[in-house]
Structure 1
């Protein structure tokens, strides 16, 4: 259950701002992919992650422990055994651009590396869907999908309002359906990008 405002709107999201230590722990391509998979598919073991990612269970187990040391993931209570531990990502967003971390070369490099890997994973998933989706998915799923790019001209305040409105819709969907299970339920990734393009001379 989430905290709610008096008019029943969900409370504003409070993302965890990653410190330099957490950023450096996450700054590894395989760790980013594992973190993403835990976010998208739910609890996993070192063995299930290894099978999905084409890695050894020894490698995934090592990286899971590194992520857990900085509270990026946690062990699932009451599930698994001493030999087969289940791991999950805590609910809630993370903020990669920590202003304090960005003041140091190491922090800035770690932030950029993590962001680059997240974006690469998102791009790879989108390309994979575009290549296989028409043939692999049923018509109802194809009809439910939106892949769209639009362009307009906004002030910084209009851009902020648009971003907040989109984020509110996403937060509501995630809050209402994060733990949903049952027939027809699948993991769905939601993408949202709103950012300014470089200015041209006649825009200034």
Structure 2
């Protein structure tokens, strides 16, 4: 069983600072594409550099991002995500209505962007992919009948695979031939699925 803990759990103040669709998108782009400036982000999302600069400062004020040391000038600053993993608390973990609303905005935007990136990959023509990167992705779905203990075991195995890969390949962002990839693991019970134990009790 994994004992992995996030490097940072976002508090209510950080969540409120992030709770804006454009800020979530900027934060997500920094994760997907690495360091960016206000100008490069503006070109990516179709906003003015003044708008992206404003949102970057708001994110930086809560240490959600920081300036890249030794890169850029006073006129053009480069920004990146801090190293390490981040936990985004769900609405049910927040103590006030305002913080719960902030968490809802952040979570919904992150998962919308996550789905968008998956659909972009699925719809990308092979001709647009370098030959060495074709057919490397994997999108699988398995439907299993599990007990809570079995689901916890599978979940922890998936987490260990992700943690192992993250540790093994850490620090390769400047290595020639690498490309940023998205690695995901999902396991959850289906709300409308059959509860085998409950059904058996009802039928007895």
Which TM-score band (shorter chain)? 0.7 to 0.9
Deviations 1:55-96 (A, max 9, x none): 111011000000011111111111111111111101122211
Is contact 1:21-1:70 (8 Å) kept?
yes
Contact 1:20 1:101 (8 Å CA) reproduced: no
Which of 154, 175, 187 lines up with 1:182 in the alignment?
A: 175
Q: Which one of 98, 108, 117 corresponds to residue 106 of structure 1?
A: 98
Residue 194 of structure 1: how far off its partner (Å): 1.1
Query: 1:201: Cα distance to partner?
Result: 6.5
The answer to whether residue 191 in structure 2 is matched with residue 198 in structure 1 is yes
Q: Is 1:115 paired with 2:107?
A: yes
Pick which of 172-181 and 32-41 moved more: 172-181
1:128 aligns with 2:120: yes
1:144-171 CA distances to partner (integer Å, 9 max, x unpaired)?
Answer: 1101111112222222221221112112
Give the CA RMSD over aligned residues.
2.1
Contact map agreement 2:91 2:100 (CA 8 A) in 1? no
- What is the correspondence of 1:55-204 to structure 2 with a 5 Å cutoff? 55-97=47-89, 102-180=94-172, 181-200=174-193, 203=196, 204=198
Larger Rg: 2
In the TM superposition, residue 138 of structure 1 has moved relative to its aligned partner by 3.8
Kindly indicate whether the alpha-carbon contact (under 8 Å) linking 1:14 and 1:93 is maintained by their aligned counterparts in 2: yes
Q: Secondary structure of 1:76's partner?
A: strand
Looking at structure 2, the residues matched to 202 and 172 of structure 1 have their Cα atoms a distance apart, in angstroms, of 33
Give distance in 2, aligned partners of 1:45 and 1:139: 30
CA shift for structure 1 position 140: 3.8
The answer (yes or no) to whether the contact 2:89–2:103 under 8 Å persists in 1 is yes
Change (3 A) 1:81 1:148: same
Say if 1:23 and 1:110, in contact at 8 Å, map to a contact too.
yes
- Give the number of aligned pairs: 195
Task: Verify the 8 A CA contact 1:43 1:88 in the aligned structure 2.
Answer: yes
User: Per-residue deviation at 1:99?
Assistant: 7.7
Residues 57/174 of structure 1: CA separation in 2 closer, same or farther (3 Å cut): same
Normalised by the length of structure 2, the TM-score is 0.87
Quick one: distance in 2 between partners of 1:188 and 1:64?
24
Give yes or no for the alignment of 1:32 onto 2:32.
no
TM-score (norm 1): 0.87
Q: Specify the alignment match of 2:201 in structure 1.
A: none
SS in 1 for 2:94: helix
Unaligned runs of 5+ residues in structure 1 are: 1-9
- Name the SS for the 2:78 alignment partner: strand
